[in-house]
Amino acid sequence: MNALFDTRNNPKLVWAGVAVIALTLLVLPFALAQVGTTWVRITNFAILYVLLALGLNIVVGFAGLLDLGYVAFYAVGAYTYALLASPQFGLHLPFWVILPIGAMVAAFFGVLLGTPTLKLRGDYLAIVTLGFGEIVRIFLNNLSRPVNVTNGPQGIAGIDPFSFGAFDFSKPETLFGLDWSGPIKYYYLLLAVVLMVLAVNVRLQNSRIGRAWEAVREDETAARAMGINTTRMKLLAFAMGASFGGVAGGMFSAIQGFISPESFVLVESIMVVAMVVLGGMGNIWGVVLGAVLLSFVPEILRWTVQPLQEALFGRMLVEPEVIRMLIFGLALVLVMLFRPAGLLPSAVRQRELTDERAA
Amino acid sequence: MDIFLQQVINGLTLGAVYAVVALGYTMVYGIIQLINFAHGEVVMIGAMVAFTVIGVLAPYGWPPLLVVLIGVACAIPACMLVGFTVERFAYRPLRRAPRLAPLISAIGVSIILQHLAMLIWSRNVMSFPQIIESRTYIVFGAAITNVQIAILAICVLVMAGLALLVYRTRLGTAMRATAQNPQVAGLMGVDINRVIASTFGIGAALAAIAGVMVGTYYGIAQYTMGSILGLKAFAAAVLGGIGNIPGAMLGGVLLGIVEALGAGYIGDLTNLCRYDWLASLLSERCANGGHFILFGSNYQDVFAFVVLILVLVFRPSGLLGERVGDRA
Amino acid sequence: MQHPKISLTLVAAAVVLIGCGEQKKPAAKADAAMEVKIGHVAPMTGGIAHLGKDNENGARLALDQANDANIKLGGKAVKFVFMGEDDQADPKVGNLVAQKLVDAKVAGVVGHLNSGTTIPASALYTQAGIPMISGSATNPKLTEQGFKGIFRVVARDDQQGPAVASYLATQNKPKVVAVIDDATAYGEGLANEVEKTLKASGVQVLPREKGTDKTTDWKAILTKLKGKSPDAIFYGGMDATGGPLMKQARELAVKAVFAFGDGACTDKMSELAGAAAEGLLCSQAGIPPQAASKTFLDAYKAKFNVDPILYAPFTYDAANLIINAMKRADSADPAKYLPELEKGVHNGASGRIEFDSKGDRKDAEITIFVMKGGKIEPIAVVKGGKTQAYADFIKAMGG
């Protein structure tokens, strides 16, 4: 990783840092709840996006396969959860059963996408994955006929929240003298999941598989010559990336209680790609940073732009929504111009940068 | 038969629109291997500028064709200006950056252009001034309008003009050289920056023409109109082999026809009630003129993408593409 | 549908009511004005952002007027603060901004615009005990969830769909009808209701055709339908797609009568489709904006310098319903004014409003329009399953 996490030279400092971060993460929701539960919700979505970005990072960052249809796996996970835990089919399976199923179904779809596209590279892969994402969404939007499976554009409502017996994640209650709102409970669940996924990612990156992916990314032909089964490695990347998306989708479903195909549009895919690239492809901590930034900045803008204008001009000249999008677009361009490898570039990528691009 | 012919005409017109937009993608890609994600927005800006100009001139009672031409004449420089600016500030500094950086930058530009357009032209759907009176001609039982004929003609003209430019002019030679190998072309005295900027300019001019075509054909303009059109046209460019000019044409027309025929026929073909042995299984649904349609017109966009994926699986570099990009 | 004179008297009555409210109060101490926040949610970005702005204007107008009227609650001067939020027509963002409004302790919410965002957000509002009135969410599911304090002031899809379908079936007597929708929750929902009613009245309905809410090229679908020569075509979707649909149909010499729901029941249709729009039938849940009370129309035009597009009278009424219920309860506390809101009767810009036990508008009117000379003209009103000629309806209202 990088200097900040250099455990060899300064172990004590690192542990102190970890302790501070852990403590912050633990008290964060209660601090945020003082400002407003909205912020807890926003944080929860930020964690969901971290999950998604980490999943996509496996495909794009580790294995170097540009996937513009990643939201499809998110959708598959979300619908798997919704169909198995809602009045749609009258099924109400517990979440710890459905989430793994969702991950597996998403992984299956990952392989489904990966298999025909093994030979494709670069931009051709980009457009095919983009098409795949749209196809999945269109199917979800239209599988209400001839037999009603997904309820089409009407979406699925009344999705079960996560619960352990009587402990319901969506209901507010008072525990240990603290007010636990639904979003706060979900926060800790999401945090636990994201930490697990992070651990898996860190382990993966330095494993045989991780290095094989790196080899495939750098030079597929050479990788094959070195005895790496590139087909299997690519499919594995698609499947693993997809399964993270599937888990995130399932959690999204439960937190929202209502899903419809509108939530899984192309813009979502692009947003997740932007998070990965902005943060620094292939660098786990960069990707986390990218996801957190892109989740929070638009929300912060939503809260600041209007008061600011009223203070400056006495009235609203340009609506905050427009400014939010303009700044968002501008930020994407500027970050690319000044830090093209992302905010926290991966070491390998940095090395690549010094090489001729047109190799 | 006339229904089939009608669908082909529908598809051809739609395909011609895709093709002209796809040319913009493919030219830029051919030279610097960049997916100019913002190209769809440039088309939108072309439509909007023409919309404004035609709207202003319409009440004066000048000949309609002249007014539209003035509209195009204003839209082209406006789009070129946008194209040059975007290239200069958002793409040129990124030529040596990792592959995805210009792509993200392009996405950013696309968001910016869309919302600037919204500030200028409002968020409403606007009706494009219909000053050219639509006339319908019946050919072999199929209807074709004067606007459709014009679109097909312009599409062929643009194609021919572009071919002349690329294969018969100095700029074209420079463009092809840059596409082959920018370093060597630079050594041979080609001003690469100028060539690339010109490519963006030409692409933007084509976008302006496409914008006016779309506006006049469908009669509407809105600040969001560029994204879906851009996406389809991009798919068309890849289908034909991105970077390849005749390929963009072929891909566009093919995509248009696939969409039209797909929406027109697949619904009936996948109505399981028309197959006797299945109809008996589905007796309840098929009784009294009922139907059990697997894929109707609702899958129109899927047909396009499925064809795209199939073509790429069997011909990974598109129908007419020669080069296989070897960078991820 | 609203006679100018009637509406004038209504507004006069409302003004008198406000006056009475003031007189009843004991002389208030000159405390600083109490702030009462009213939230409004609609998409301000994206494809239907113009409708979102229209909705927001309606609600904003009501609040501004209330502020000008110097209302007092519980003896304190009240300043209504407008909190306009953008849900981007995205259910996820919808829940976020709903939570934001809940956190800000708004006293009531007007919105959201789309059923797709309103349904999930309604769960948050009801949990927080904040009343919500949508001026445009027509999906039946919204009020079928059994939530307390969730209302709407427009007719439901399953009232509007049957109304326009039965009008079509009885007046035009088509044998074969094609139904198209835009594959959105709104368009499909409405088209399903229309199809149901048509089938029940013995009309043959062709297999459903679908575009999207961004479709501009309908020619393939229309050509296919032409081969099956339907007598009428119903489209569930918005005017932005409905206009081109109709224009292209006429270019292809499709002669069928066109019918639309409220999303495409605007004057914009003639702008978008040109002469091709002549003769279309369409329905609006409630009354059309141009038939809203004249005082509302004038005030709207004066303030925003544009005409209302579609649902502005309804969001205006929704905001006024909340304000009036507060006045009757003499409190801005949701728990106190909600009972007043539930039982209250309000004569607003869109006519008389009364809620049933689910929170739907009782006997919501549906108006049937026809496009004549580039303008949509009301020709009939469907109320409680009965169809009345528009002129008769106005007469009855006047009498």
DSSP C81-139: EEEEEE-TT-HHHHHHHHHHHHHTT-SEEEE-SSHHHHHHHHHHHHHHT--EEESS---
Give residues 269 to 328 of C whose Cβ lies within 8 Å of A. Answer: none
Look at residue B47 and tell me whether its pLDDT is greater than 80.
yes
Chain A residue numbers with beta carbons less than 8 Å from the beta carbon of B121 are: none
Let me know if residue C388 belongs to a domain. yes
Q: Do C224 and B3 touch (CB under 8 A)?
A: yes
| ipTM of the modeled complex | 0.88
**How far apart are the C-alpha atoms of C270 and C247, rounded to whole Å?**
9
Residue B53: pLDDT over 70:
yes
pLDDT tens readout for residues A109-150: 999 998 888 888 777 788 889 889 999 999 999 988 788 899
Nearest to B324 among A121, A142, A349 (CB): A121
pLDDT at B109: 93
User: C128 with C29, same domain?
Assistant: yes
Q: A303 touching B, CB under 8 A?
A: no
Q: How many domains does chain C have?
A: 2
Report which DSSP code applies to B271.
B
Task: Identify residue A72 by its one-letter amino acid code.
Answer: A
Nearest CA in chain A to B99: A357
A268 Cα to chain B: minimum distance (Å): 12
Closest by Cα among B22, B93, B96, B33 to A122: B33
User: Does B275 contact A at CB distance below 8 Å?
Assistant: no
Instruction: Suggest the residue from B103, B119, B123, B180 to mutate for an interface test with chain A (most A CBs closer than 10 A).
Output: B103
Residues of A in contact with C44 (CB under 8 A): 319, 321
pLDDT tens-place string over residues A78-115:
999 999 998 888 888 998 899 999 999 999 999 999 88
Which candidate from A36, A142, A320 shows the least CB-CB separation from C103? A36
Q: How confident is the model at residue C150 (pLDDT cuts 50, 70, 90)?
A: very high
Cβ separation A41–C95 shorter than 8 A: yes
User: Which chain A residues contact residue B231 at CB under 8 A?
Assistant: 130, 266
Q: Confirm if C101 and C83 have CB atoms less than 8 A apart.
A: yes
CB contact under 8 A, B296 and C211: no
**Please, which residues 83-142 of chain A have a Cβ atom closer than 8 Å to chain C?**
141-142
**Which range is least confidently modeled, B92-106, B109-123, C336-350?**
B92-106
Interface of B with C in 257-296 (CB under 8 A): 259-265, 267-268, 271, 289, 291, 293, 296
Express each pLDDT in B204-227 by its tens digit. 999 999 999 999 888 888 888 898
pLDDT confidence of residue B82: 94
Chain C residues touching residue B298 (CB < 8 angstroms): 183, 208-210
If pLDDT is split at 50, 70 and 90, which confidence band does A348 have?
low
Pick B309's closest partner by Cβ from A116, A146, A270: A116
Question: Which residues of chain C neighbour A321 with C-beta distances below 8 Å?
Answer: 44-45, 86, 88
Kindly determine whether residue A256 and residue C89, on different chains, have CB atoms separated by under 8 Å. no
pLDDT digits (tens, 9 = 90+) for B163-192: 899 889 999 999 989 988 888 998 988 999
A254 CA to centre of own chain? 16
User: How far, in Å, CA of B306 to CA of A331, rounded?
Assistant: 35
Question: What average pLDDT score do residues C105-116 get?
Answer: 90
Residues 6+ apart with CB under 8 A from A299: A42, C96
Of C104, C92, C101, C128, whose CA–CA distance to C41 is shortest? C101
Taking the CA of residue A355 and the nearest CA in chain C, the distance in Å comes to 41
Q: Which residues contact C197 (CB under 8 A, 6 or more apart)?
A: C161, C162, C165, C166, C169
Of C333, C354, C375, which closes a domain? C354
Please report whether residue C121 resides in a domain.
yes
CB contact under 8 A, B291 and C207: yes
Give partners of C (≥3 CB pairs < 8 A).
A, B
CA A307 to chain centre: 31
Give pLDDT, residue A109. Answer: 95
> Per the domain annotation, does C360 fall within a domain?
no
B297 inside 8 A of chain A by CB = no
CA distance B27 to chain A (A): 15
| Residue A177 to chain B, least CA–CA distance (Å) | 46
Q: Looking at the complex, does the CB of residue C141 fall below 8 Å from at least one CB of chain A?
A: yes
How many other CB atoms are found less than 10 A from the CB of residue C345? 11
Label residue A64 by pLDDT band (50, 70, 90): confident
Name the residue of chain C whose CA is nearest to A324's CA: C45
The answer to whether C104 faces chain A, any CB pair under 8 Å, is: yes
Residue A229: pLDDT above 70? yes
CATH number of the CATH domain containing C387: 3.40.50.2300
Closest alpha carbon to C221 in C241, C200, C192, C240: C241
Q: Is the pLDDT of residue A185 over 70?
A: yes
Same domain, C347 and C250: no
Which residue range is the domain that position C264 belongs to? 158-285+366-398
| Contacts with C7 (C-beta within 8 Å, 6 or more apart), sequence order | C292, C293, C294, C295, C296, C349
Fold of A7-354: ABC transporter involved in vitamin B12 uptake, BtuC (1.10.3470)
Question: What does A53-104 look like in DSSP terms, one character per residue?
Answer: HHHHHIIIIIS----S-THHHHHHHHHHHHHHEETTTTEE--HHHHHHHHHH
| Inter-chain touch C141–A154, beta carbons under 8 Å | yes
- C128 and C196 housed in the same domain: no
The full length of chain C comes to 399
What does the longest C-alpha to C-alpha distance in chain C come to? 76
Q: Is the pLDDT of residue A323 over 80?
A: no
**pLDDT over 50 at B194, yes or no:** yes
Report which DSSP code applies to C175: S
Average pLDDT over chain B reads 87
Percent of chain A with pLDDT over 70: 91
Phi, psi of C314 (to 5 degrees): -80, -40
pLDDT given at position C30: 46
Q: C209: which strand partners?
A: C180
Cβ of A210: how many Cβ atoms within 10 Å? 17
A31 vs B: CB within 8 A = no
* pLDDT tens digits along C360-394: 988 788 889 999 988 888 888 888 778 888 888 77
Question: Same structural domain for residues C147 and C239?
Answer: no
How many CB pairs (< 8 A) connect A and C? 78
Which ranges constitute the DSSP H helices of C149-215? 157-171, 185-200
A257 to C116: CB separation less than 8 angstroms, yes or no: no
Chains that touch B (3 or more CB pairs under 8 A): A, C
B322 has a pLDDT exceeding 70: no
Contact C100 A262 (CB under 8 A): no
Percent of chain B scored above 70 by pLDDT? Answer: 97
**CATH second-level architecture of B2-258?**
Orthogonal Bundle (1.10)
Decide if pLDDT at C155 tops 80.
yes
Considering only CB atoms, B297 lies closest to which of C210, C243, C273, namely C210
C281 and C228 assigned to the same domain = yes
B/C interface, count of CB pairs below 8 Å: 108
Q: Determine, yes or no, domain membership for C374.
A: yes
Q: How many residues does chain B have?
A: 328
pLDDT interval class at A350 (50, 70, 90): low
In this model, does residue B321 exceed pLDDT 80?
no
Q: B231-287 pLDDT, tens per residue?
A: 889 889 988 988 888 899 999 999 999 999 988 888 888 888 877 777 777 777 777
Task: Say whether both C329 and C371 belong to one domain.
Answer: no
The model's confidence at residue A358, banded by pLDDT at 50, 70 and 90, is very low
The strand pair at C351-354 and C257-260 is best described as unpaired
Look at A41-45, B67-71, B157-161, C18-22 and tell me which has the smallest mean pLDDT: C18-22
CA–CA separation, B236 vs B7, rounded Å?
A: 19
**Domain shared by C51 and C175, yes or no:** no
CA distance B31 to B81: 19
- The whole-angstrom separation of Cα C100 and Cα C96 is 6
Cβ contact (<8 Å) for C220 and B224? no
Q: If we measure between CA atoms, which residue out of A119, A205, A52, A270 comes closest to residue B328?
A: A119
∠C337-C341-C347 over CA atoms, to 5°?
Answer: 130
Mean pLDDT of chain A: 85
**Neighboring chains of A (3 or more beta-carbon pairs < 8 A):** B, C
- Chain B environment of C223 (Cβ under 8 Å): 3, 6-7, 10, 260, 264
Structure tokens that stand for A271 in this block: 């947003």
What is the nearest CA distance from A339 to chain B, expressed in angstroms? Answer: 9
C-alpha distance from C103 to closest chain A C-alpha (Å): 5
Mean of pLDDT over chain C: 85
CB contact under 8 A, A332 and B313: no
Place of tokens 């093994």: A118
Q: Is residue C100 domain-resident?
A: yes
CA distance B10 to B5: 9
Residue C187 shares a structural domain with residue C71:
no
Indicate the pairing of strand C232-236 with strand C176-181. parallel
Residue ranges per structural domain of chain A? 7-354
Phi-psi region of A75 (alpha: psi -120 to 50; beta: other; left: phi over 0): alpha
> How many other CB atoms are found less than 10 A from the CB of residue A94?
14
Residues C17 and C115 in one domain: yes
10 Å CB burial of residue A357 (0-12, 13-18, 19+) is: middle
Distance from CA of C327 to the nearest CA of A (A): 29
C303 vs C296: CA distance, rounded Å: 10
Q: Is residue B7 less than 8 Å (CB to CB) from chain C? A: yes
**Least confident range of A300-314, B140-154, C261-275, C292-306:** A300-314
Residues C9-53: pLDDT tens digits? Answer: 444 444 444 444 444 444 444 456 888 999 999 988 766 778 888
| C-alpha closest to that of B103 among A52, A55, A68, A242 | A68
Among A336, A349, A352, whose Cβ lies nearest the Cβ of B105? A336
Both structure tokens of A44 = 């929860």
Both C326 and C206 in a single domain?
A: no
Kindly state whether residues C241 and C372 are assigned to the same domain. Answer: yes
**Please, what sign has the CA dihedral across residues A219, A221, A222, A224?**
positive
Q: State the DSSP H helix or E strand holding residue C145, giving kind and residue range, or none if neither.
A: none
- Work out the pLDDT band at C398, boundaries 50, 70, 90: low
How close does chain B come to A357, measured CA to CA in Å?
A: 6
For residues C107 and C237, membership in a common domain is answered with no
